[in-house]
A and B are shown apart, each in its own frame.
Chain A
Amino acid sequence: MSASVATTPPVNRAATSRIAISDVRKTFQLKPGQSVTLDGKVSDRIPVLSGVDLDIRQGEFVTIVGPSGSGKSVLLDIIAGLTQPTGGFAAIDGRKVVRPHPETAYVFQQYALFPWRTALQNIEYPLEVRGVGRAERRERAQHFLNLFGLRGFEDRYPSQLSGGMQQRVAIARALATDPQVLLMDEPFAALDAQTRDILQSELLRIWEQIKTTVVFVTHSIDEAIFLADRIVVMTARPARVKESIEVDLPRPRDIEIRNGAAFNAYRARVWDALREEVRKAQRDWALASAYNA
């Protein structure tokens, strides 16, 4: 496996952290002829991340909240090795990420299942491209399919599954390779409220068995608190980490926890940190008419 691992010389960082994000910056270059007005100046570059520092412990469940357009997804893409930062670096187990790391899995808001593959074949995919034999990958895929309560739906195509079931398949696909790091980009945002509640609980139930490191981006404050060991609040664009909030709620967590006083206190705290940033982001978007992209 090591030959395919994205490696450069190890970077010296806190040895306990699984993911180290150090002064990550990302600036998007607009296409020729396009421009934006930022702080009264016309520019063809948009800074999205301006020095993000974050250390994530092994087995930690971190949720990231921030105003729309604050570059949360870009940060995930950088950790995933799908895009390179303009400055700084992201490292997994002390090694800089320069391409998709074999121990990382990514779950997308729009499921991103392959529509020409059945549920089972979708879960088999990452095993297939890793060269796992047919019998073994079938068995593993079946195991994860069952784990998400999808027994009996092996041969359904994604178009024959509900949104909730599609996202279950997508998460099963991500977990099929036993990833050390699970990146989730608003995975439940496209689902209805009830399905969302159910999937949050299901995710926690499974995560408590496998204890992989999770970085979970969301717009929902409740979701962020309910799932997290720690909530990271981002500033408006260009984003940095504004605040890191440890969530000291007992596990395993039941959905009822959201009615408790402790949960409410976290809700107020996260919203306090977020309020000003959302306002800033709205001002930013009010200028969107100047954005000719």
Chain B
Amino acid sequence: MTLATDKSTDVPPRVWWSRPAFLPSPSFVRQTIHTIGLGLPALLVLALLWELAPRLGWMNAIFFPPLSQVLATLGDMIASGLLFQHIGISLQRAAIGFGLAVVVAIPLGLLMGRYTLFEKLSDFLVQTLRNTSQFALLPVFILVLGIGEASKIAITFYAAVFFLLVNTIVGVKSVDPLHIKAARSMGTSDWDLFRKVILPSAVPSIVAGARLGVKSSLFSVIAAEMLAAQSGIGFLIQNSSLMLETDRMYAGILTLTIIGFLLNYGLVAFEARATRWRASDDKGAV
């Protein structure tokens, strides 16, 4: 019997050019332009108000310098390299704390999600810690770990670890029992079951947790730097405010916004890539 009768086995058509994976799809580009086009006017109105309010005397220019002045200061700070120094330090602290959280939360979450006894033993503790704000704990970290790097890394770790842990547990618990059964029937060992079935099943949930965790880490390091630090974007903002160098302060705030934007875009792209097997939009032969 030939397969010619079954349309679903047709080989997909070959095209002379296919879009490299790193380029966004045309539909994505179109959608983005559309989104920006619609969203931009509101942002421009805000920028205009920011520029005009101090110039027209609606607000005190000392506390609220016009946007053009802030952007000029921002340009100077970029040119002098000062800005990147602070950005680098803040990102490094957040990255170390977040990295530690990944190393701790994922193995722990895999165990807690898989073994009920393990979860019962630790769940109450986790829930207690999770509901204690990392900001409230900041003075404790500083008292115990000092005002150096350790206390900042500790708070970024604390800020991310529970997002990762809880989402890893949820991910492990949502593993399809049929996948476990199929894996068992093929003679999968316990170790391979963890590596090759449970972990990949949990990846979408873990990545979603990581996205929240990264943001939380970044916000926490800024807060920590405002309280006790001699460097970092948080320190820059706080210190400029104290010195009444408000154009620098706003430049710092704007920088933070841009970093947040880029980070979120990167994380969304990473999430899409890590879970691309879920994609159903370019369904082939159905």
Residues of A with Cβ closer than 8 Å to B? 4, 80, 82, 100, 102, 104-106, 108, 110, 112, 114-117, 125-126, 128-130, 149-153, 156-162, 164-165, 177, 195, 198, 201-202, 205, 254-255
Contacts and interface: CB of A to CB of B under 8 A. Distances in A.
A4 B187 contact: yes
B243 interface: no
Contact of B187 (A100, A153, A202): A100
B277 A115 contact: yes
Given A112-B179, A165-B285, A159 B279 contact: yes
B182 interface: yes
Interface in B51-104: none
> Most chain-B CB neighbours within 10 Å: which of A150, A162, A164?
A162
A5 B283 CA distance: 41
Given A80-B185, A160-B284, 19 more contacts: A82-B181, A100-B184, A100-B186, A106-B185, A106-B186, A108-B178, A112-B179, A116-B201, A116-B277, A125-B186, A125-B196, A128-B196, A157-B277, A158-B277, A159-B280, A162-B286, A165-B285, A195-B8, A198-B3
B255 interface: no
Interface string B167-194: 0000000000011011111111100100
Interface of B: 1, 3, 5-6, 8-9, 11-12, 178-179, 181-189, 192, 196-197, 200-201, 203, 276-280, 282-286
21 contacts: A4-B187, A82-B181, A82-B184, A108-B182, A114-B179, A114-B197, A117-B277, A126-B186, A129-B183, A129-B192, A152-B12, A159-B283, A160-B279, A160-B284, A162-B8, A164-B8, A165-B8, A165-B9, A198-B1, A198-B6, A201-B1
Contact of B278 (A100, A115, A130, A195): A115
Contact of B285 (A129, A157, A162): A162
Contacts of A117: 200, 277
A161 B201 CA distance: 19
A149 B3 contact: yes
Most buried by A among B6, B184, B189: B6
A27 B1 CA distance: 44
Contacts of B276: 157
Contacts of A125: 186, 196
Residue among B1, B5, B185, B188 facing the most chain A CB atoms (10 A cut-off): B185
B12 to A, nearest CB: 6
Given A160-B282, A162-B285, A198 B11 contact: no
A130 B187 CA distance: 8
Given A82-B181, A114-B197, A116-B200, A161 B285 contact: yes
Give the one of B178, B182, B183, B286 with max A CB within 10 A. Answer: B182
B1 A205 contact: yes
A74 to B, nearest CB: 13
Contacts of A150: 9
B186 A129 contact: yes
A198 B9 CA distance: 11
A149 B181 CA distance: 27
Contacts of A202: 1, 3
Contacts of B188: 129
B217 to A, nearest CB: 27
Given A102-B187, A126-B186, A129-B192, A161 B278 contact: no
A165 B282 CA distance: 16
User: Which of A80, A104, A116, A153 counts the most B-chain CB atoms under 10 A from its CB?
Assistant: A116
Contacts of B201: 116
